[in-house]
């Protein structure tokens, strides 16, 4: 897949800017992937919980099968208030579960 990654991005970004736009999209794609990789290593190395480790691995596998991730990230970060409220509700529950359940 890596050998024709530029073509994939070119295809995906037809309606948007070319050239520099694709360059920056590729940069962010590699940034996302390296972040996920480093994050998984970090979780596997430091977290004592098996569930968390498995969870991180599953998420990593899931994301790796759905590259390119950049467009999904962009779609999840629009100005819409629905998305923000969804994530806020999720965060509130997550914080309470983490602090009270103590993963």
Please, which residue, 27 or 64, has the CB nearer to another protein? 27
CA distance linking residue 24 with residue 44, whole number of Å? 30
Tell me the CA distances in angstroms from 45 to 25, 30, 55, 84, one per residue in order. Answer: 30, 22, 13, 31
Rule CB under 8 A: which of 15-34 touch another protein?
Answer: 16-17, 20-21, 23-25, 27-28, 31-32, 34
Rule CB under 8 A: which of 36-75 touch another protein?
Answer: 38-39, 41-42, 45-46, 70, 73-74
- 26 CB neighbour count, 10 Å cutoff: 16
- Interface with another protein includes 85 (CB under 8 A)? yes
* φ, ψ (nearest 5 deg) of residue 11: -60, -45
Contact residues for another protein (CB under 8 A)? Answer: 16-17, 20-21, 23-25, 27-28, 31-32, 34-35, 38-39, 41-42, 45-46, 70, 73-74, 77-79, 81-100, 102
């Amino acid at each position: 897949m890596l050998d024709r990654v530029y073509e994939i991005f070119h295809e995906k970004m037809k309606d948007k800017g070319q050239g520099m736009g694709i360059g920056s999209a590729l940069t962010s794609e590699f940034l996302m992937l390296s972040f996920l990789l480093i994050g998984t290593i970090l979780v596997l190395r430091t977290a004592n919980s098996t569930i968390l480790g498995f969870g991180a691995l599953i998420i990593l596998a899931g994301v790796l099968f759905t590259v390119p991730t950049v467009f999904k990230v962009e779609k999840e970060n629009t100005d819409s208030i629905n998305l923000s409220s969804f994530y806020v509700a999720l965060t509130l529950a997550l914080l309470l579960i983490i602090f009270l359940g103590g993963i």
